[in-house]
Structure 1
Amino acid sequence: MQFNRVRDSALKNNTQYSVGIDLGTTHTVVAYAEAEDPHKTIRLFEIPQLIAPGEVDSRPLLPSVRYHPAFGELNADSGFLTAPDGAVLGEAARLLGAKSHGRLVTSAKSWLSHNAVDPAAAILPWGSDESVFKVSPVAASASYLQYVRSAWDQHFPQAPLSRQNVVITVPASFDESARALTLEAAKSAGLVDVRLLEEPQAVCYDWLRRHDGKVAASLAGCRLLLVCDVGGGTTDLTLIRIDHGDGDPKLTRIGVGDHLMLGGDNIDLALARLAETRLTGGDKKLSAGDLSQLLEQCRVAKERLLADAAPEQFAVTLLGGGSKLIGGARSSFLTRDEVRRIALDGFFPLSGIEERPDKKRSGMVEFGLPYAPEPAISKHIAAFLKAHARSSRAALTGTGEGAEFAGPSEVVDGLIVPDALLLNGGLFRSPALVTRALELLGHWRGEPPVQLENLDPELAVAYGAVAYAIARREQKLKIGGGAARAYFLLVDTVNDAGARFTKPGICILPKGSEEGREVTLTARQFALRIGQPVRFHLMSNSTDADYRPGDVVELDDDRFHGLPPLAVAFAGDQRVEVVVQLVATYTEVGTLRLQCVAKADLNQRWDVEFQIRKTAPTIGGGELPNQLPQALEKIQAVFGAKSRDVDPQAVKTLRADLEKILGAPRADWRTPLLRELFNALLEGGKYRRRSEQHERLWFSLVGFCLRPGFGYPLDDWRVEQIWKWYCDGLQFVNEKQNWTEWWTLWRRVAGGLQVEAQQRLFGDVAKFINPATARQAGLAKQLMTRGYEDMVRLAAGLERLPVADKTQLGEWLLKRLEKAGEPEQSWWALGRVGARVLFHGSNHEVIPSDTVSKWLHRLLAVDWKKQSQAGFAAALLARRCDDRVRDIDDHLRALVQDKLKQAKAPVSWQQIVSDYIPLDEQQERQIFGEALPPGLKLLEEH
């Protein structure tokens, strides 16, 4: 390991404490040690919190939850103290949340890694109604850290937490986006100088601390350690190689698992669904708010019934609302045997080592978070061991692949089964689950592994974070391994044999790279223009394949995982180009850092920062055609400085000329080609006003070449450039076809527009769609040329509009559709506005299911045989997504299914209502309004 000695020395001299914070899904735990304590005693920081009205107690666990009270619910005499934003935190929040409907924020940590929502948007509590104020996952996480900081500063006023050596733990499986968001939350809480540590490593550091002086004896005969950390929201798997020699063994982390959203929360959900069937008689589902209340009670039931000396059963009670708070209460019981059966057989079955996770969706995927489709943790462990078989074999033999084994039967079906096991997480407070985990590995190996004792599975991570901080200060880190993943840059290149890859990538940082060591991508240089943004697309791989810097490999989606895009913009004179190389570093903070370094001056560097946003679409490979220069010349001839002298006929035939030059119709032009053509059109934009034909053609080609406005490197910059011209409007305002192409342009690229831009567009077309204003004489006259249908289609594609605006738009369309003569496109628009799964927006931007259910009842009165588009709209409104917040109720869905069947609607329409399935290419085209560019596929994150 390499260290920044100056920085570490400064920390050692200026900080009084080393502090470890386990920012958990369920609880937050803090531990600390005095810097000058010769015994290095680690203490738990007990956090003062309300546990009942007016009653404060200091406890080791701070529940990672927030309660958002109703207006006037908690007054000065209630005995509840609130945070600055009005929320109640800690144990009191759990107390209030168990008795409320949709006011409890839980699992904020899990939402940080959810790609289908904006983690900086105010979306929690998920599923709460409009009367409940909301916060973002980042803000919720920051509030827990701020609470800890305030409590610490009150207890240690001479040693503020912001000035201490702070380590915050994260799942080993967290990608760069989730790690960056955790650092953002810490910064928001005033903790600017922190390090991140993977939770399984923290557990190991705690074990090493507790066995100081007897590590060698405790690990005698052990060569491969599996750390299995099952928390509230994730299952985190790590493999550590144990090398014996003189003194203590050397520990090296050789593998981490992929992000697996599977943990105690899933067991709570399974129990809640069981209780739900008993409370409702099995004929209906509870609301999201009711389920949230029930989940909190099932969590308590799980903990009680899995413990030693557990009672035979535990009552769960669903309180009523409003005046029926007590009278509307319903109760049921969960038994000890039921809970153990679900936890053991459902989540930790004694499956065979050859069994793999089922990748198909299961009923556990609901309530907003994308839980793992396969609930059996046992099968995920088997898949994890398979992915790291090569490294494991080397760990057990010391030689590598193909060597003979002298030890016991660690090899089963070609996999290496670890001979040591360290369990962590609140789930393993249950002796039954600890026993089952040992039985599982013993079942695979033929004999049980050595269990490394962990007496405090809920506290070990915080303790271990402090032990790591101490080891770092003393430059005696005990666990090596470096970067947990290898990182790859998507490139357009060929392999040594000259064959072109479908999706090529070049390794920029190998797995195991040491902290602080820079890896320069010498084989690649970039000529970057100052002032122009550049986008890099990266992927990571956590398997044990041996990649070296500069290796070119095929990046398939099964083994490689996409990261948020990286972007950099050089400040300065735009006429200057700089030749740079890419430098990657695994930082001492625990994250990936990329920099562009000027080849002529290695001291001239630009940071390349992660853009925290929804997962981008995938883009298939495809080289640019050899005829591209001729096509660009053709565009420049029409939209160039000398185009004034061009034959007007050349403007009319430009589309056909481009198809002839490129040897393919427009529909077959792939994304890379389209974006190159767009760049040429952008340069010629100022000449678009030379004639009505120039303007009309420019609008048409620009929108076509940039659709859907996102999904390819630098699309955000491209959309930003053309949006600057929106205020200029049209030159030929009396030409109807020009208006059609104008609205079509913005509809095509709407997915890349920011919220403010979409609101501006909506504001400009709303008066023409609103039935109350469209009848005004002046507007009715303008509609003769401005194209009502095109404006409706555009408005329906503005998915990032506030829900209130989209709801209003839907109501306008319904009112218009009551009258004969309304265009058929309005049905399509209604379906797009109220869709359960958005095309480019986030899940939290969906119109509430209650509103859409009312719309569906009105659609059910329409004859879908005569008006098939009404059936398509209903299919989008009723589309199943297995999120209780967005889904309509089962009874209404059944009515829609029956009517679609009676109307002999396409089977694909019926399927998206009955089951959650991604859209096929034809459905995607129907929703978008036209085909996407070939090679560009949108990913539906759930």
Structure 2
Amino acid sequence: MTESTSFGSARYVVGIDLGTSHTVVASVPLGGVAAEIALLNIPQRSTAGEVLAQPLLPSVRYQAAPGELGDAWREPWPPQGADAQAPAVIGRWARDLGTAVPGRLVASAKSWLSHTGVNRTAPILPWGAAEDVAKVSPLAASSAYLAHVRAAWDRAHPEAPLHQQAVVLTVPASFDEGARALTLEAAQLAGLPGVHLLEEPKAAFHDWLVLQGEQLASQLAGSRLVLVVDVGGGTTDLTLIRVEASPDGGLPVLTRTAVGEHLMLGGDNMDLALAHQLEAQFAGEGERLPAPRFAQLVQRCRIAKEQLLAADAPESVAVTLLGGGSRLLAQARSATLTREQVRQWVVDGFLPPAQISDVPARRQGALRGFGLPYPADAAISRHLAQFLSQHAAGTDAAHLPDTVLLNGGVFHAHAVVERLTEQLSAWRGSPVHVLHNPHPDWAVARGAAAYGLARFQPIVEEIADPGEHDQAQSAIKIDKPVIAARLPQIGGGSARSYWLLLPAKSGARPQGICLLPRGTEEGVRIVLSGRRFALRLGEAVRFNLLASSRSDIPAQAGQIAEIGGEGWVELPPLSAVLPAPQGRDKAQVEVQLQASMTEVGTLEVRCVSAEKSDGASPSWLLPFAVRGAVRGAVEHDAAADLVADGADRESAGGQNGLKSSDARLPEAVALIDRIFGNQAQDVTAKEVRQLRQSLEKVLGPREAWGIALLRALFDTLLARARRRRRTVEHERVWLNLAGWCLRPGVGAELDPWRMEQIWALYPHGLGHGKEAGNWTEWWVFWRRVAAGLNEAQQMELLEDVAGHMQKTVQQTARGKSSHGSYDDMLRLFAAMEAVPWQYRQEMGQWMLQRLKRPEETAQTWWAIGRLAARQPLAANAHLVMPPEAAQEFLNATLAQDWRRNETAMFAAVQMARMTGDRARDLPDATRAQVLEKMRAAGAPPRWIAMVEQVVQMEAEDQKRSFGDSLPPGLVLL
């Protein structure tokens, strides 16, 4: 929604709080007053026979079994949006059904939408659900809730459909640009293309401002700095707002000065904590419940927590877990949860007394749920102490907040409110003023409507011929933000500064250049006029961005500063292939970067050409790469194309992101060009075969080539791919070197684009298919980059390699194979992580049959371990073979003598490895059996640790597991 956005026939401002636990909608007529803000009662099924309309729509979705719900799920309307798979139900009934059958409940979609470690557009929810449960993506689930809201609104306001209204959608202040972009996409998929994003703490404070009416100025008269603490179901959001007297004696001037980092810590974590405390009473001391039973326990603890933290709480409540199937009641077990236990485990656990100088612990604690990256330290008080130390002038009590607004359902509990306000008062040395929030469940939605009312006052255009138009259809435009009477605007602009990562000099800390300073107002465009980039159109380009909420780093556009310390967040990269104009394939252009905080609340970065065409400068929007996130992180790549103040520019395109210290690259490119360049040069077969050794003389040992250098070399080889077939040796060397440089096919920005280019070569196959050595390099190449292939591509490759493997098995029985190495085909088989696990199960069963042959290689055990591993290289964790399916292969390894067959033992390690995710981990008893056998066989301590606890795999074992070392700088999470 920009200043020129047209609302058409808009009549309302609608605020939507798309919360982790609940979704709430409030509205007010455009041109109305704050007193007219009303909540929307959202129809939703409460039981199989009843539809109830209430303000809180639980943000959950129940994926029912066929026939389970009859036709009841069709009322008040079936799930809509991006992935309307039926039968399913949204809201209160879904939550109640999920309490009994948690394996079918999609919950915490908002948290998953901000989780960069998974593909947020892939169908992965419910997390850890059985194969017969239809799954949806976090994006689709979020869209479905918004679509339900749209249907509810349209039924209540048929004359004013929601997509034509001024919609303000709230997000956590800590959401990064990727999560914000996906939130906008969810709204678009739900048929709401023109929403404006607003940070939730600001919305909550807007609601408080509205409620004060004529008393607003007096209520804030003694306040200098307001702290907003918003603890929702999935996140804790912290915001500071400075209060200053108005120069003209009117309403106070409000400026948002700081926001906290993304903290996935809220009511969900408290439910998990209670469930962990009670687990032993249901599973036995030292034992763990299966994932579905533990999920049920979490839901029961949520209900008990709400009862025991209420103002009129009983002394205790019973927490009951039902059995399964026909023994539903016979196997039911109960435990007692007391009010004092909840106070101790929730209040003392999440708000323990802390010093203002405390910092959160970094060690991973026990609160790991269902794949979400919860923080290591669950103490909100320590996170708050660190936030105030960074943003409230250090630890000086005089500069700490004197006023606090608490928002979120957790603050219904008086004990939680009391503990937090006591802590803030202790840090200050004097009591803090608590702003009364009468409705923490829907303050955000109300505040979003109030914000929209203040910002988007309607201006009705004059119609040239009124007779041609109904008055109700008059166009309403937003010219400029107009502040409603008696409601001050919260200024402050962008909560963060945004930085482009620059090349790191040898031995120096990385540096960044500021694209957009902290505090930049919406709609203001910043151009780095003194910095230019040389880019090649038609090739992949990438810019690595970081954001900082730190107030102690002065930030001005174009300023260069060191990157390091707390408060820096790595954003999804900006990446694109900029189209080349007609007839100018891969033309090089000079560009400047232009950044702005858009009117809808998102960062926008463009490349603006220094050349003018038809009187205008062409520009290209650089989108955030938020799709297909992989479980890998790359060392900070550099913007090596930067031309600073007229300095010599480096080439762009494939070398974008290469460190400036790699000045040897031109010499390496020349070596590659001698073998694979446009002009065939007089080179011998020996020179071709020795290309790798020649490159190592220039660049050092290939194991030490960093990922930026590897991708630059690969891009050089890709540009010369047409010459790979000149001779047998050319093809063999190209495949070997290109596969090494692109491995593992993921981990660096723009790898998806590279994989698209390389997959286009697959149908052409080998140019020298009669050479067994070339076939071997062919299989090795695709095994090295297999992690970057999608499911369809892996399936095609799987069918192909299966046919060649069958021929190889037949030929090997008669002599030497002409289709390459059987072992390499086997290893390629095992690298297919993106195919449905049932295919990998079938492959593994075929391999078990092969192992009955005495001549079968030990590589088969390695392949089985990879097929059934708990932790994939790059595939999303929902594709991991379920524990019950992996048991067959683990049993086969347990039958081996591990003192004689170390490969089988390592396969068992991969299958029994502890991940902390109950949906993937083997039962405790099974892992105990594996550990006992490992100790008896003298297993290395690091292997034992991998089965006992959640630890990172060491480099030596990574190489053993994946078949090659990972590039330096790429870290598996």
TM-score band (shorter)? over 0.9
Q: Which moved more, 1:711-720 or 1:619-628?
A: 619-628
Alpha-carbon shift at residue 669 of structure 1 (Å): 2.8
Select the residue among 614, 622, 625 that pairs with 1:611. 625
Give the conservation status (yes or no) of the 8 Å contact 1:234–1:263.
yes
Q: Which amino acid aligns with 1:597?
A: V
| 1:261 to 2:264 alignment | yes
Q: Matched residues in 1 for 2:699 and 2:232: separation? A: 56
Give the conservation status (yes or no) of the 8 Å contact 2:575–2:749.
no
Give the conservation status (yes or no) of the 8 Å contact 2:770–2:818.
no
Per-residue CA deviation, residues 395-418 of structure 1 (Å, 9 max, x unaligned), is: xxxxxxxxxxxxxx725xxxx421
Q: Which moved more, 1:509-518 or 1:672-681?
A: 672-681
Alignment match, 2:461: none
Cα distance, 1:939–1:559 mapped onto 2, change above 3 Å:
farther
Alpha-carbon shift at residue 899 of structure 1 (Å): 1.8
Cα distance, 1:718–1:58 mapped onto 2, change above 3 Å:
closer
Alignment match, 2:669: 632
Q: Residues 800-815 of structure 1 correspond to what in structure 2 (within 5 A)?
A: 800-815=834-849
Alpha-carbon shift at residue 679 of structure 1 (Å): 2.9
Alignment match, 1:518: 525
Q: Which moved more, 1:31-40 or 1:189-198?
A: 31-40
Per-residue CA deviation, residues 546-586 of structure 1 (Å, 9 max, x unaligned), is: 22111222333743221112122333331533321111111
Cα distance, 1:555–1:450 mapped onto 2, change above 3 Å:
same
Q: Which amino acid aligns with 2:115?
A: H
| 1:75 to 2:70 alignment | yes
Select the residue among 630, 642, 654 that pairs with 2:679. 642
Cα distance, 1:333–1:854 mapped onto 2, change above 3 Å:
farther
Q: Matched residues in 1 for 2:160 and 2:815: separation? A: 71
Q: Residues 472-551 of structure 1 correspond to what in structure 2 (within 5 A)?
A: 472-474=455-457, 475-476=482-483, 478-492=489-503, 501-544=508-551, 545-551=553-559
Secondary structure in structure 2 of the residue aligned to 1:241: strand
Q: Which moved more, 1:566-575 or 1:484-493?
A: 566-575
Q: Matched residues in 1 for 2:401 and 2:114: separation? A: 29
Alignment match, 1:399: none
Q: Matched residues in 2 for 1:779 and 1:583: separation? A: 65
Per-residue CA deviation, residues 630-684 of structure 1 (Å, 9 max, x unaligned), is: 3322222222233253233322332222233x16232233333333332332233
Alpha-carbon shift at residue 283 of structure 1 (Å): 4.9
Q: Which amino acid aligns with 1:145?
A: L
RMSD, aligned α-carbons? 2.3
Q: Residues 367-766 of structure 1 correspond to what in structure 2 (within 5 A)?
A: 367-390=370-393, 410-411=397-398, 416-474=399-457, 475-476=482-483, 478-492=489-503, 501-544=508-551, 545-556=553-564, 558-571=566-579, 572-573=581-582, 574-601=585-612, 603-613=617-627, 614=629, 616-619=632-635, 622-643=659-680, 645-660=682-697, 662=698, 664-766=700-802
Q: TM-score, normalised by structure 1?
A: 0.92
Give the conservation status (yes or no) of the 8 Å contact 1:199–1:461.
yes
Alignment match, 1:354: 357
Q: Matched residues in 1 for 2:274 and 2:540: separation? A: 50
Q: Matched residues in 2 for 1:626 and 1:96: separation? A: 62
Q: Matched residues in 2 for 1:665 and 1:4: separation? A: 53
Select the residue among 916, 938, 942 that pairs with 2:971. 938
Alpha-carbon shift at residue 939 of structure 1 (Å): 4.1
Alpha-carbon shift at residue 624 of structure 1 (Å): 4.8
Secondary structure in structure 2 of the residue aligned to 1:610: coil
Q: Matched residues in 1 for 2:830 and 2:531: separation? A: 43
Alpha-carbon shift at residue 493 of structure 1 (Å): 6.1
Secondary structure in structure 2 of the residue aligned to 1:633: helix
Alpha-carbon shift at residue 462 of structure 1 (Å): 0.5
Give the conservation status (yes or no) of the 8 Å contact 1:67–1:104.
yes
Q: Which moved more, 1:576-585 or 1:75-84?
A: 75-84
Q: Matched residues in 2 for 1:533 and 1:642: separation? A: 25
Give the conservation status (yes or no) of the 8 Å contact 2:501–2:636.
no
Consecutive unaligned residues in structure 1, runs of 5 or more = 394-408
Cα distance, 1:591–1:746 mapped onto 2, change above 3 Å:
same
Q: Matched residues in 2 for 1:312 and 1:430: separation? A: 15
Cα distance, 1:843–1:418 mapped onto 2, change above 3 Å:
same
Select the residue among 947, 959, 969 that pairs with 1:913. 947
Secondary structure in structure 2 of the residue aligned to 1:786: coil
Alignment match, 1:29: 24
- Percent identical residues: 46
Per-residue CA deviation, residues 449-500 of structure 1 (Å, 9 max, x unaligned), is: 1001101010100000001001111422610111111111122266xxxx87
Q: Matched residues in 1 for 2:169 and 2:816: separation? A: 60
Alpha-carbon shift at residue 252 of structure 1 (Å): 0.9
| 1:17 to 2:12 alignment | yes
Q: TM-score, normalised by structure 2?
A: 0.90
Give the conservation status (yes or no) of the 8 Å contact 1:34–1:40.
no
Alpha-carbon shift at residue 603 of structure 1 (Å): 4.3
Q: Matched residues in 2 for 1:706 and 1:556: separation? A: 29
Alpha-carbon shift at residue 828 of structure 1 (Å): 2.0
Q: Which amino acid aligns with 1:273?
A: H
Cα distance, 1:86–1:76 mapped onto 2, change above 3 Å:
closer
Cα distance, 1:461–1:627 mapped onto 2, change above 3 Å:
closer
Alpha-carbon shift at residue 769 of structure 1 (Å): 5.6
Give the conservation status (yes or no) of the 8 Å contact 2:610–2:617.
no
Alpha-carbon shift at residue 715 of structure 1 (Å): 2.9
Alignment match, 2:137: 136
Give the conservation status (yes or no) of the 8 Å contact 1:618–1:939.
no
Alpha-carbon shift at residue 736 of structure 1 (Å): 2.1
Q: Which moved more, 1:201-210 or 1:790-799?
A: 790-799
Alignment match, 2:94: 93
Secondary structure in structure 2 of the residue aligned to 1:276: helix
Secondary structure in structure 1 of the residue aligned to 2:918: coil
Give the conservation status (yes or no) of the 8 Å contact 1:314–1:334.
yes
Q: Matched residues in 2 for 1:540 and 1:789: separation? A: 46
Consecutive unaligned residues in structure 2, runs of 5 or more = 458-481, 638-658
Q: Matched residues in 1 for 2:507 and 2:334: separation? A: 64
Per-residue CA deviation, residues 595-638 of structure 1 (Å, 9 max, x unaligned), is: 11112235422111111132652225643544433332222222
Give the conservation status (yes or no) of the 8 Å contact 1:644–1:690.
no
Alpha-carbon shift at residue 215 of structure 1 (Å): 2.2
Cα distance, 1:639–1:247 mapped onto 2, change above 3 Å:
same
Q: Matched residues in 2 for 1:31 and 1:78: separation? A: 25
Alpha-carbon shift at residue 87 of structure 1 (Å): 0.6
Q: Residues 779-790 of structure 1 correspond to what in structure 2 (within 5 A)?
A: 783-790=817-824
Cα distance, 1:44–1:713 mapped onto 2, change above 3 Å:
closer
Per-residue CA deviation, residues 234-293 of structure 1 (Å, 9 max, x unaligned), is: 111111111123222211111111111111111111122233221223353222222222
Alignment match, 1:396: none
Give the conservation status (yes or no) of the 8 Å contact 1:305–1:335.
yes
Alignment match, 1:822: 856
Alignment match, 2:896: 862
Q: Matched residues in 2 for 1:78 and 1:539: separation? A: 44
Cα distance, 1:264–1:842 mapped onto 2, change above 3 Å:
same
Q: Which moved more, 1:328-337 or 1:24-33?
A: 328-337
Alpha-carbon shift at residue 760 of structure 1 (Å): 1.8
Q: Matched residues in 1 for 2:212 and 2:816: separation? A: 81
Q: Matched residues in 2 for 1:634 and 1:724: separation? A: 25
Per-residue CA deviation, residues 728-760 of structure 1 (Å, 9 max, x unaligned), is: 111222322212211111122222223322222
Q: Matched residues in 2 for 1:150 and 1:252: separation? A: 37
Alignment match, 1:60: 55
| 1:885 to 2:893 alignment | no
Secondary structure in structure 1 of the residue aligned to 2:933: helix
Alignment match, 2:961: 927
